[in-house]
Amino acid sequence: MTETTRKTGVSRRTLLKGTAGLAGLAAGSGAITGFPYVKSAETKVLRYLGTAVNEGDDISKQCLKDIGIKIEYITATTDDVTKRVMTQPNSFDVLDTEYFSLKKIVPSGNILALDARKIKEFDNITPVFTKGETPGGKKIGGQGTAPWKVLYLEGKDSKKFATSATEFVTLIPTVYNADTLGIRPDLIKRPISSWSELLNPDFKGKASILNIPSIGIMDAAMVVEASGKYKYADKGNMTKEEIDLTMKVMTEAKKAGQFRAFWKDFNESVNLMASGETVIQSMWSPAVTKVRSMGIACTFQPLKEGYRSWASGFCVSKGVSGAKLEWAYEFVNWFLSGYAGAYLNRQGYYSAVLSTAKAHMEPYEWAYWMEGKPAEKDIKAPDGSLLEKAGAVRDGGSYEDRMGGVACWNAVMDENDYMVRKWNEFIAA
């Protein structure tokens, strides 16, 4: 009888659908947590939310090979990562984010601080994070949201940053760098040594800054200070008057046609520079490398006023517990154990634990990237493509010189709301 067959077919399907839906619902709501673990033989999976900086395929492959944890990347822009932590804290397990966003994320209570005692290499983390100085003892500029100001919490569930070391770490550091202006030496044809050059009328219509307000205004502040117009108490935490002053300088420059375009995305910055639309702009180290690998001269120019630095690290979502939390620790420990650090160093970033990364790099690579020495052999990117020919020296020199020259850190200001309004006014001007 056809009808009966059809009926059973439908009901079986409905049943299956219903069960699957329920299971999905349960999994999604986290109701399964604490359920006896039947599936222990299955792959361990961690959902990893972050910007593209650390998210190399090679890293996730190596991680699966070494410790059997499968990393599922969720890639978003800096702003979107923060947005996601606020609005969908259950949509990720491990979070890779920048220290400056902690001022927003920590009070929201959506992340879990990690226990320093469970991080094997914690004591070997570079003093840049813990003390605010380089391994060689150079003091690092602390304006803005410097990592050592927000590294520790007062207690496990505290929303307050501790002033001295505790075991509750907001973000286990992973990667950081010192940013400056990228220039096209072939088109500028003269030495550049100060941030003030960004607004030099010589480069009218050929300059650019980052279109992320909180970072763009820091670059602007470097320019204002370099040109001797004003000295900030803290560039990363301006008063309303200071914001007005900074935006006024920028608005005048914009009206005079100083800027060609603002960029937001890695590739945009590469395109602007490579096509010659801009000859001087705020930039990221790997973007400069990318332009250079296209055969176009581009320098990540060290400037006398110093670098604007940024740093990111790992924490986990508040919803993570039990076995998954253990995997997260396992993963973070693996990340600091050398392979990933070497991978990041080879891209021109810096790794948090220097000793383990060094063990995973060739001596000539270490000498080029970290010690500022001329390359003994050709320098290759992690994917094997040629970055620099033998004899080249890294822009800005050694780790000590570059990190020691940091003047300020990416920041979220107390007057952030006002600043964002002023930024919109600046765009409309």
Q: Does 423 bind other proteins (CB under 8 A)?
A: yes
User: For the chain, percent helix, then strand, then coil, each to nearest 5?
Assistant: 45, 20, 40
> C-alpha distances in angstroms, 82 versus 106, 315, 424?
11, 13, 20
Q: Who's near 245: CB < 8 A, 6+ residues apart?
A: 224, 229, 230
CB 168 within 8 A of CB 155: yes
Q: How far apart are CA 316 and CA 97, in angstroms?
A: 10
- Identity of the amino acid at 203: F
The nearer residue to other proteins, 74 or 379, going by C-beta atoms, is 74
Q: Does 137 bind other proteins (CB under 8 A)?
A: no
Site string for other proteins, 353-392 (x = CB under 8 A): ----------------------------------------
CB 61 within 8 A of CB 73: no
- Backbone conformation region of residue 340, classed left if phi is above 0, alpha if psi is from -120 to 50, else beta: alpha
CB 352 within 8 A of CB 116: no
Q: How far apart are CA 375 and CA 360, in angstroms?
A: 17
DSSP string, 29-62: HTTTTTS--S-TTSPEEEEEEE-TTS--HHHHHH
Q: Which of 11, 14, 275, 355 binds other proteins (CB under 8 A)?
A: 275
CB 182 within 8 A of CB 320: no
Q: Which of 152, 262, 300, 327 binds other proteins (CB under 8 A)?
A: 262
Q: Does 41 bind other proteins (CB under 8 A)?
A: no
Q: Does 421 bind other proteins (CB under 8 A)?
A: yes
Tell me the pairing of strands 44-50 and 94-98: parallel
Burial 160-174 (b: 16+ CB within 10 A, else e): ebbeeebbbbbbbbb
Site string for other proteins, 197-236 (x = CB under 8 A): --------x-----xxxx----------------------
CB 334 within 8 A of CB 353: no
Q: Does 277 bind other proteins (CB under 8 A)?
A: yes
Among the listed ranges 167-175, 271-279, 317-325, 389-397, the one in contact with other proteins (CB under 8 A) is 271-279
CB of 127 to other proteins, least distance (A): 30
Site string for other proteins, 395-414 (x = CB under 8 A): -----------------x--
Q: Number of residues in contact with other proteins, rule: CB under 8 A? A: 40
CB of 104 to other proteins, least distance (A): 5
Q: Which of 44, 70, 104, 138 binds other proteins (CB under 8 A)?
A: 104
Among the listed ranges 17-25, 56-64, 67-75, 263-271, the one in contact with other proteins (CB under 8 A) is 263-271
Q: Does 264 bind other proteins (CB under 8 A)?
A: yes
> Pick from 172, 227, 241, 169: which is nearest to 196 by CA?
227
Q: Which of 149, 184, 235, 260 binds other proteins (CB under 8 A)?
A: 260
Q: Does 186 bind other proteins (CB under 8 A)?
A: no
Q: Does 38 bind other proteins (CB under 8 A)?
A: no
Q: Does 1 bind other proteins (CB under 8 A)?
A: no
Q: Which of 44, 70, 103, 380 binds other proteins (CB under 8 A)?
A: 103
- Residue 29 CB-density burial (10 A; 0-12 exposed, 13-18 middle, 19+ buried): exposed
Q: How far apart are CA 105 and CA 51, in angstroms?
A: 16
Among the listed ranges 26-34, 229-237, 266-274, 324-332, the one in contact with other proteins (CB under 8 A) is 266-274
CB of 213 to other proteins, least distance (A): 7
CB of 105 to other proteins, least distance (A): 7
The nearer residue to other proteins, 3 or 123, going by C-beta atoms, is 3
Q: Contact positions toward other proteins, by CB under 8 A? A: 3, 79-80, 82-83, 86, 103-105, 107-108, 205, 211-214, 254, 259-264, 267-268, 271, 275-277, 412, 416-417, 420-421, 423-425, 427-429
